[in-house]
Amino acid sequence: MIERAKHLASIISKHDEILVVTHIDADGVTAGAIASAALDRLGKEYSIKFVKQIDDDVLKEILDANPELVWFTDLGSNVEGKMNRIVTDHHRFNIKFYDFILNPHLFGLDGSIDTSGAGTTYLVARALDKKNVDLSALAIVGACGDLQDYRYCKLVGTNRQILKDGVRVGVLECKIDTRYFGRETRPIFKLLQYATDPLIPGLTGNEDACIAFLVEHEIRLRENDLWRRWIDLREEEKRKILSEIVKILIRKGFGSAFARRVIGEVYLLSKEEEGTELHDAKEFATLLNATARYGEPEIGLKVCLGDREEALKRARSMLRKHRQSLLEGLQFAREEGIIKRDFLQYFHAGEGIRDTIVGIVAGILLNSGEVDQDIPLIGFALTEDRKVKVSARGTRRLVEKGLNLSVALSKGAKAVGGVGGGHDIAAGATIPIGKEEEFLEVVEKEIKNQLLREVL
């Protein structure tokens, strides 16, 4: 991968004007920021374009702009046709081998665990100039945004090498702590209330129960007129809470491997102020999603590039709305009802959930244990241009049994004239309206084949 990164860096060096095309999520924004910073430092002229996905319309726009060189980040491996381009991506793809692509799947590595779009982009930035090692912090934010730590409760493979770079130059720190979201910014009872991986029976989703739990274990909720956050707790208080959660999980019949997921590695951006959304990589990633998934990726990009005034303020206010939208989305999906079939389950949100967050909603629902975890969950939502956005999420156990949602969704989409792809554990597609049932039939048949292949 490093050799390929050097090769791509040498292509960049030969061009003066570059169009960066990237994805509208946390990994895409950090990838775009890394590419921008690297090009800026080289004194290249560049512009950046954010897209939901690559389809014919997007390709046409790019070709019409006729840039000297296109740099696709966090997407683009599947783009066919003639175009002067390089690609730093991590999605599964099925075209012939091209030497202008840097993608872990080309090297037998898993793109949902080993490296993200920001990570592959970082490797090229580092190959352009050693000074770019400080950008490793953004690469780790991107990896966390794509949940690349999900499988092992820590980053592994190439991500780990990138982490080492960051630790070495003092922009990253890595420590063992709770994996629950919001360590730095949320009141502790909120952290527990929104705990989904692993969920805490009796506490998740129940504010009163979370407060009662903390009171029962003599954890003070407030100090100096402020809500105490996880980072305000003393070590023995943290230990107490975590061991009580593990006890609850074991008592409820969850295995110890599952219960152990309460702790894992957390990644801190050393140059950022403690107690802000920017200090913890997961919280930083969520802040970026709150901009990019609502049509304002430039705000997130500015935050990545160092704006701590106007852009950060806007991003924070968007984060509050993002939380609200997620809660409403979850509620909507529950009320709409999840329809179970033999090899998948789904909900159709119509216009009730924004197409850009239906995947996050599906992921939270599946992880929360509210729905059957033995089959994948698919969410549908309508897009502004009257198409159907599909998001599918699976579990680690299903992937171990052979599930590959990327293959299933791309087959299903192709059968009904849409496009789809992604990773084995999480994939997406866009299909024409009214084709949902036909799509589901193809996808279900493929999932059935995947899951029964080993049995038969």
Contact positions toward ligand C5P, by CB under 6 A? 23, 25, 27, 53, 74, 91, 112, 117, 146-147, 150, 359, 363, 391, 393, 419-423, 425-430
Report what 44 binds from ligand C5P, Zn ion, none; CB cut-off 5-8 Å by kind: none
Q: For 112, phi and psi rounded to 5 degrees?
A: -100, 0
- Which CB, 117 or 187, lies closer to ligand C5P? 117
C-alpha angle 344-282-346 in degrees, rounded to nearest 5: 15
Minimum distance between the CB of residue 94 and ligand C5P, rounded to whole angstroms?
A: 12
- Which CB, 27 or 110, lies closer to Zn ion? 27
Written as one letter, the residue type at 21 is V
- Which CB, 6 or 387, lies closer to ligand C5P? 387
Report what 91 binds from ligand C5P, Zn ion, none; CB cut-off 5-8 Å by kind: ligand C5P
Q: Return the closest-CA partner of residue 200 out of 234, 231, 244.
A: 244
Q: Does 74 bind Zn ion (CB under 5 A)?
A: yes
Q: Return the closest-CA partner of residue 392 out of 422, 414, 350.
A: 422
For 416, the token pair is: 């009904």
Distance CA 248, CA 222 (A): 24
Minimum distance between the CB of residue 219 and ligand C5P, rounded to whole angstroms?
A: 30
Distance CA 227, CA 221 (A): 6
Q: How far is CA 35 from the centre of its chain?
A: 19
- Which CB, 219 or 319, lies closer to ligand C5P? 319
Minimum distance between the CB of residue 112 and Zn ion, rounded to whole angstroms?
A: 9
The interface region with Zn ion, picked from 63-71, 139-147, 296-304, 366-374 by CB under 5 A, is 139-147
Specify burial of residue 41 (Cβ count, 10 A radius: 0-12, 13-18, 19+). Answer: middle
Distance CA 120, CA 2 (A): 9
- Which CB, 183 or 282, lies closer to ligand C5P? 282
Minimum distance between the CB of residue 169 and ligand C5P, rounded to whole angstroms?
A: 25
Q: Does 27 bind Zn ion (CB under 5 A)?
A: yes
Q: Return the closest-CA partner of residue 222 out of 232, 213, 212.
A: 232
* DSSP codes, 354-422: -TTTHHHHHHHHHHHTSS-TTS-EEEEEE-TTSEEEEEEE--HHHHHTT--HHHHHHHHHHHTT-EEEE
- Which CB, 146 or 355, lies closer to Zn ion? 146
Minimum distance between the CB of residue 288 and Zn ion, rounded to whole angstroms?
A: 12
Distance CA 101, CA 103 (A): 6
- Which CB, 166 or 422, lies closer to ligand C5P? 422
Report what 423 binds from Zn ion, ligand C5P, none; CB cut-off 5-8 Å by kind: ligand C5P
The interface region with Zn ion, picked from 111-119, 189-197, 270-278, 425-433 by CB under 5 A, is 111-119
- Which CB, 179 or 393, lies closer to ligand C5P? 393
Cβ-proximal residue to Zn ion, closest one:
27
- Reduced to 3 states (helix: H, G, I; strand: E, B; else coil), residue 266 is strand
Report what 428 binds from ligand C5P, Zn ion, none; CB cut-off 5-8 Å by kind: ligand C5P
- Which CB, 29 or 241, lies closer to ligand C5P? 29
Q: How far is CA 111 from the centre of its chain?
A: 12
Distance CA 107, CA 310 (A): 41
Interface pick for Zn ion out of 51, 115, 123, 146 (rule CB under 5 A): 146
Site residues for Zn ion, window 211-240 (CB under 5 A)? none
Minimum distance between the CB of residue 192 and ligand C5P, rounded to whole angstroms?
A: 22
Q: Does 32 bind Zn ion (CB under 5 A)?
A: no
User: Total residues at the site for Zn ion (CB under 5 A)?
Assistant: 5
Minimum distance between the CB of residue 405 and ligand C5P, rounded to whole angstroms?
A: 8
Report what 38 binds from ligand C5P, Zn ion, none; CB cut-off 5-8 Å by kind: none
Distance CA 27, CA 104 (A): 15
- Which CB, 92 or 348, lies closer to Zn ion? 92
Which segments of 12-124 are extended strands (E)?
A: 17-23, 45-51, 69-73, 85-88, 101-102
Which segments of 77-154 are extended strands (E)?
A: 85-88, 101-102
**Is the backbone peptide bond immediately before 198 cis, with ω within 30 degrees of 0?**
yes
279 membership: H or E segment, kind and range: none
Minimum distance between the CB of residue 81 and ligand C5P, rounded to whole angstroms?
A: 17
- Which CB, 229 or 367, lies closer to ligand C5P? 367
346 membership: H or E segment, kind and range: strand 345-348
Minimum distance between the CB of residue 243 and ligand C5P, rounded to whole angstroms?
A: 26
Minimum distance between the CB of residue 370 and ligand C5P, rounded to whole angstroms?
A: 16
Minimum distance between the CB of residue 36 and ligand C5P, rounded to whole angstroms?
A: 18
Specify the pairing of strand 263-269 against strand 172-178. Answer: antiparallel
Residues engaged in binding Zn ion (CB under 5 A):
27, 74, 116-117, 146
